[in-house]
């Protein structure tokens, strides 16, 4: 089958745009007329075979998906039919491929497909968390409420992730720029100056000798260092592609100083919030654990959750297997145990997510406030040593001439 971009007018004379799937251009035109649309333009888009997932659409941003989901929830709450709501939301998507995707989803719905099944045809746009919650909403008759929960969840996740990335961007950029400046000084500037100092024909002080030795080493063996660096990165990348290597890297990530505990807290908050959202929407615990396990994207945590899920399948609660796994911070199983005893498991998991998200934000702020002056101090010390090593022999020469 093929996809066709179309422009058409509906019965009220309103212009519609979207994508339709059909065997031929004539079949696409008949399909549109059957939907009450009168096409004015049909152009071949991209090919699609059968009912396979249409993976050629690029993943949309979390903010765009959240806004579209909130719009759809609002229209359904107002009593608008699902197909009309999908058309209106699709028309609001000016950028990206979400509008075309929603048009295809609407076509599938008109052909009798359930909404969650139509969404599953686009896994790059709608993750398993999204489609499973929609399925529960359709089955329970609360699709508008579930979509609103999805919009709020996506908003919260996007906000937290953007704050986390923004907090790490500045020190990383500062480190890269500072390292580049030092390499430039040591390989291009310092060698020219040290050749002038050698012409003074006098005994050079120890800092100058150390600087000259290090600069000469970099200038002579920079190619070897580059080869070793590229070779190390290549070997590490190849090792990370193996199952053992991926597990090793995923495990060691949480052992890094300073950033390791933050990464683990971030994963814990994501696990708690996603699981709580699924449970609150009516998704069974086993299904929720399976979805979250696939969403974490960390082999180390996924193996631990696989063991947790097996024990829950055997009849255990959630808190005890989390204790036994020994992977997540102790607060998670403790709060889960309280939630199980009180019958408010999803509420306790929401609370865990909020606590860790606030802790991460506070620790990031304090870490950044400490890291910035430390990096400035380090850079100042290195540059100061270079300046001292250059000026000392000049001072000695001037005193000798005096």
Q: Please, are residues 248 and 254 in contact by the beta-carbon 8 Å criterion?
A: no
Q: What is the CATH number of the domain that holds 38?
A: 3.10.20
Where does the pLDDT of residue 396 fall: very low under 50, low under 70, confident under 90, or very high at 90 and above?
confident
* Domain end (from 50, 68, 90): 50
* 60 has pLDDT over 80: no
Over residues 154-183, mean pLDDT:
77
Residues 322 and 179 in one domain: yes
DSSP 255: G
Contacts of 189 (CB under 8 A, 6+ apart): none
Nearest Cα to Cα of residue 157 among 276, 302, 55: 276
* d(C-alpha 48, C-alpha 104), whole Å: 12
* d(C-alpha 270, C-alpha 264), whole Å: 10
DSSP 22: E
Q: Is residue 10 part of a domain?
A: yes
Residues 167 and 38 in one domain: no
Tokens of 174: 């500062």
Q: What is the CATH number of the domain that holds 300?
A: 1.20.81.30
Q: Is residue 126 part of a domain?
A: no
In order, the DSSP letters of 280-328 are: HTT--HHHHHHHHHHHS--HHHHHHHHHHHHHHHTT--SHHHHHHH--S
Residue-wise pLDDT tens digits, 66-95: 888 889 989 988 888 888 888 888 888 766
Q: Is residue 123 part of a domain?
A: no
Higher pLDDT, 284 or 44: 284
Q: Around 274, how many Cα atoms within 13 Å sit in the side-chain half-sphere?
A: 23
* 201 has pLDDT over 80: no
Q: How far is CA 126 from CA 68, 77, 82, 265, 347, in A?
A: 12, 21, 17, 25, 25
Residues 168 and 29 in one domain: no
* 188 has pLDDT over 60: yes
Q: Around 375, how many Cα atoms within 13 Å sit in the side-chain half-sphere?
A: 16
Residues 38 and 170 in one domain: no
Q: Is residue 382 part of a domain?
A: yes
Tokens of 373: 């002056």
Residues 354 and 225 in one domain: yes
- Say how many domains are in the chain: 2
354: helix, strand or coil: helix
Q: Note down the domain range covering 8.
A: 1-50
Q: Is residue 119 part of a domain?
A: no
* 54 has pLDDT over 60: no
- Among 42-46, 139-143, 297-301, 354-358, name the one with the lowest average pLDDT: 42-46
* 204 has pLDDT over 60: yes
Residue identified by tokens 């002038």 is: 196
pLDDT of residue 48: 42
Residue-wise pLDDT tens digits, 215-254: 788 778 878 888 998 999 999 888 888 888 888 888 888 8
Q: Is residue 267 part of a domain?
A: yes
Residue-wise pLDDT tens digits, 307-342: 999 999 988 888 999 999 888 898 999 999 999 999
pLDDT of residue 49: 36
- For the chain, the average pLDDT equals 81
Q: Is residue 246 part of a domain?
A: yes
DSSP 124: T
pLDDT of residue 348: 93
Q: How far is CA 79 from CA 75, 83, 84, 144, 184, in A?
A: 7, 12, 11, 10, 65
pLDDT of residue 234: 92
pTM of the model: 0.64
Residues 217 and 340 in one domain: yes
Q: Please, are residues 144 and 341 in contact by the beta-carbon 8 Å criterion?
A: no
Q: Is residue 131 part of a domain?
A: no
- Among 196-205, 240-249, 321-330, 362-371, name the one with the lowest average pLDDT: 196-205
- Among 146-160, 190-204, 262-276, 328-342, name the one with the lowest average pLDDT: 190-204
Where does the pLDDT of residue 3 fall: very low under 50, low under 70, confident under 90, or very high at 90 and above?
low
């Amino acid at each position: 089958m093929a996809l066709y971009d179309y422009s058409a007018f509906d019965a009220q004379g309103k212009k519609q745009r979207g994508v339709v799937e059909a065997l031929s251009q004539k079949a696409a035109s008949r399909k549109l007329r059957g939907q009450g649309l009168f096409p004015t333009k049909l152009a071949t888009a991209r090919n699609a075979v059968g009912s396979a997932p249409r993976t050629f659409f690029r993943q949309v941003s979390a903010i765009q998906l959240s806004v579209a989901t909130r719009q759809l929830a609002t229209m359904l709450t107002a009593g608008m039919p699902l197909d009309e709501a999908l058309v209106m939301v699709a028309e609001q998507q000016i950028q990206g491929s979400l509008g075309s995707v929603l048009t295809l989803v609407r076509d599938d719905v008109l052909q009798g497909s359930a909404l969650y099944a139509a969404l599953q045809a686009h896994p790059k746009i709608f993750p398993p968390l999204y489609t499973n919650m929609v399925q529960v909403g359709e089955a329970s008759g609360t699709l508008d409420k579930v979509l609103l929960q999805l919009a709020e969840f996506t908003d919260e996740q996007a906000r937290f992730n953007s704050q986390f990335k923004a907090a790490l961007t500045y020190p990383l950029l500062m480190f890269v720029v500072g390292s580049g400046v030092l390499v430039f000084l040591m390989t291009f500037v310092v060698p020219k100056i040290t050749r002038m100092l050698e012409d003074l024909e006098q005994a050079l002080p120890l800092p100058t000798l150390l600087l000259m030795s290090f600069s000469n080493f970099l200038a002579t063996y920079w190619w070897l260092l580059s080869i070793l660096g590229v070779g190390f990165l290549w070997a590490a990348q190849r090792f990370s592609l193996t199952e053992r290597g991926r597990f090793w890297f995923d495990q060691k990530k949480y052992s890094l100083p300073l950033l390791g505990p933050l990464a683990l807290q971030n994963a814990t908050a994501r696990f708690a919030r996603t699981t709580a959202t699924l449970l609150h929407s009516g998704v069974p615990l086993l299904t929720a654990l399976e979805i979250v396990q696939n969403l974490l994207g960390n082999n180390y945590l996924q193996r631990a959750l696989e063991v947790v899920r097996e024990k829950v399948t055997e009849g255990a609660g959630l808190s005890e297997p989390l204790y036994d796994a020994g992977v997540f911070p102790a607060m998670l199983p403790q709060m889960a145990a309280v939630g199980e005893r009180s019958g408010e498991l999803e509420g306790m998991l929401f609370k865990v997510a909020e606590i860790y998200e606030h802790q991460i934000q506070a620790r990031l702020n304090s870490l950044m406030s400490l890291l910035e002056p430390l990096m400035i101090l380090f850079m100042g010390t290195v540059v100061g040593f270079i300046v001292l090593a250059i000026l000392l022999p000049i001072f000695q020469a001037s005193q000798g001439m005096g």
